[in-house]
Structure 1
């Protein structure tokens, strides 16, 4: 209840095309100082498209609907950046917005709501859902889409059960936990100003469900699955690590890489050696600062070394990541490879037909 958490997971092959532009938090609890209410945001570029992901927790209780809408607008307003080269959030190609929004079901009494849920008759409840009502009247909220609410209201349950609130308060069930998205509007063609062919960027909802098996909270978790179809605006990474040029000399692993002309390197850039299956950027086996361990460089081609004497001999496959300090992102990844046992390397050269280390 004292904060919000937002995590993003990605398959490693996408990492060179994901740039974390900024993260931001907007506390709205207790006069704007406490983080039990508010929003957290991650701005990123994904294959050249601007994407904003927001997790929020809005004010509770039936009577605070106006306050919820006010906090929604405040979070949206505070996510914009004036001094940085990041477009207005409403100019992002995709905004994903989810969390405990705390919208309630108006007018109907507790008995009617529970009977409707028991009989899976949700359509009457949709009409009185506060978020659905707000979307019909608020031009900005109307631009956010949501999947159909075909699952029971996710609040409020007795803990460790599937029973709605049996306490003295007997809170009325509601769909408090929601997942919304907004795609950037494309300019409409007219007779005088025909629209240019817009890049292909489309989101399809595959599922929107709650999970009744989880009972550690008084809420039931909600998940959505999407298919995102896009035409990449960026198709080549900023750094290309060349696995065919990798070789070992004594206890050093020599790494060759090339960089694009517009890539701005930093003395704090580094290359990490990872086992395939890593879960975090800090899961490296070893790493090296690219400036400190540079061996040679020429037109766009550089070479550094990593000391592998302390790396245990294993049959695992490895990857190399190039991390840019300026962009706070991985900008290059090698193909998977194996490190040959050093005892084998001491016996003789590798078969040239097998470009392994």
Structure 2
């Protein structure tokens, strides 16, 4: 039996019956230097431990379409035992990028085991693999000339699977089977879309005695059992709370010109600055409108009981979405005398879209593994005039008594999106959401330089691999109702409050959620504030008596939604607009959340890991 056949058999032995090995390629890791030079071999020896095997593996679903999806698995042999282990996994989607180039033989040092080998025998191909065109990090491998025929088969199979993906458009859940081959599975949160489904909905038709994927079902049941055990352990411990304020404000390209205190700090009776504090952005004592309409609107902006807002107090974290970076100074000015208690933890900007995370200084050590990413969806799908920025982080409360309590990190993800405009572009908005959901991925090198630039794809996460996902800012969804009817409902009461629930029946975002076209399984707090778009600034004959532009139909374009699984408690305390701030044709919107963080009591000799027999790895529990 040839070496190639033996390698194929060994790799097949690591796969589950539901997966099929299509192609196997023998490679060596290659890295780019800081100056952008071509990749070179990472070592000067040709030892088996340094070599890699890249496998093209497919998974076929027993559904009506007989869908086939593929993924690359990268394997290496451990130095001690020589046993093959999966160290990398990369799904082959329609955005998958693979490039092959021939390298200069002199770039590859000769193997010490054969220093007399002729130079031409060392000629090699360079294989570069990226998740998509936006991915700044690529996996680079050197392929020997003797493997050229296999390289041709490898690239052909990748192209075939990419074409299938471009036709079927598989969602992220179609690649859930890949997780079974990634090391340290417990560190990877199960996709939120799956965690929200009951167990039976996640299993194949095999549970009904029909042809299905029973091996995958066993893995799903095992993981669900582990999660239930973890939740039971956590229920016996303490509960810590993280208070988060989210804010979205489309400033329409304007520089800050008003005090942001009502938006940044307002909660219950603390809606105005304390005496003695004068914001540097306070224009005059008459900055806020004294119009009786605005006063009534503030009184009717009913979201939660005042007692709840007062109990919420100062947030531990502020996550704000903007269109301009110069607003950071205005944010800290809006914090008033408590600005010294906060500092910026992270930010991400894509052209005019800015996402900022600000936290209390005492909690900064509690936040780890902070990552960020962005994706454009505007002109040619990659320009940044539309798109999203996102930040992912882990929060672990301080351990006051290490002997009695341990904490599992809570993963929070925040997305700041700007979708397509215009009333009739609802289908494009739905498409943009689906695209961004797939293309927004967090890799270690997207974490502001705090992590190595080279790492395994197993360390890359999508936005749904979180405990809580917040999605906000300028979603641009409008009302499917004639302009005249819209304004008639708004004018039905002095403040327009009575017509809100009727208007929301025609809201495009809610219709998209009902039809599962976008934001399925997301939650939005009941809206009790007037539409936040489009208002006319100052005195003008082109606005109605509520201040809306006569040429643009009012709509709730600025929204804040979230998704969390049943085992993570998220309480929304408030959801409101801030008509006091009148510098833009949009009104700011804020939402307050109380996230309960699970803890568990440490046990002597606690179970640390559980073996997963169906996969070549171990599933570790945090218990």
Same fold (TM over 0.5): yes
Q: State how far apart, in whole Å, the 2-side matches of 1:88 and 1:40 are.
A: 13
Q: Is the 8 A contact 2:434 2:518 kept in 1?
A: no
The structure that is helix-richer by fraction is 2
Q: State how far apart, in whole Å, the 1-side matches of 2:591 and 2:482 are.
A: 29
Residues 19, 158 of structure 1: alpha-carbon distance in 2 compared, 3 angstrom cutoff: same
Query: Helix, strand or coil: the match of 2:469?
Result: strand
- Whether 2:512 is the aligned partner of 1:134: answer yes
Query: Helix, strand or coil: the match of 2:584?
Result: coil
How big is the shift at 1:9?
1.0
- Whether 2:372 is the aligned partner of 1:37: answer no
How big is the shift at 1:81?
4.7
- Whether 2:593 is the aligned partner of 1:212: answer no
Residues 203, 142 of structure 1: alpha-carbon distance in 2 compared, 3 angstrom cutoff: same
* Cα deviations by residue, 1:109-161 (Å, 9 ceiling, x for unpaired): 21221121222211221111000001111076231000111100111111247
Structure 2: give runs of 5+ residues left out of the alignment. Answer: 1-252, 254-350, 397-408, 444-456, 540-545, 603-623
Query: Helix, strand or coil: the match of 2:471?
Result: strand
Q: Is the 8 A contact 2:438 2:462 kept in 1?
A: no
User: 2:419 maps to which residue?
Assistant: 58
Structure ID, larger Rg: 2
User: 1:10 maps to which residue?
Assistant: 359
Query: Helix, strand or coil: the match of 1:36?
Result: coil
Paired residues for 1:1-357 under 5 Å = 2-47=351-396, 48-81=409-442, 83-106=457-480, 108-118=481-491, 119=493, 120=497, 121-138=499-516, 141-160=519-538, 163-166=547-550, 170-184=551-565, 201-232=568-599
RCO higher in 1 or 2 (8 Å CA, sep ≥ 6)?
A: 2
How big is the shift at 1:34?
2.5
TM-score by length of 1: 0.57
How big is the shift at 1:3?
1.4
* Cα deviations by residue, 1:178-225 (Å, 9 ceiling, x for unpaired): 000000355xxxxxxxxxxxxxx3111111000111111111110001
TM-score by length of 2: 0.33
Q: Is the 8 A contact 1:29 1:36 kept in 2?
A: yes
Query: Helix, strand or coil: the match of 1:9?
Result: strand
Q: State how far apart, in whole Å, the 2-side matches of 1:105 and 1:233 are.
A: 46
Residues 139, 57 of structure 1: alpha-carbon distance in 2 compared, 3 angstrom cutoff: closer
Residues 139, 203 of structure 1: alpha-carbon distance in 2 compared, 3 angstrom cutoff: farther
Q: State how far apart, in whole Å, the 1-side matches of 2:391 and 2:501 are.
A: 34
Residues 10, 123 of structure 1: alpha-carbon distance in 2 compared, 3 angstrom cutoff: same
Q: State how far apart, in whole Å, the 2-side matches of 1:113 and 1:19 are.
A: 46
Q: State how far apart, in whole Å, the 1-side matches of 2:600 and 2:471 are.
A: 24
Q: Is the 8 A contact 1:39 1:57 kept in 2?
A: yes
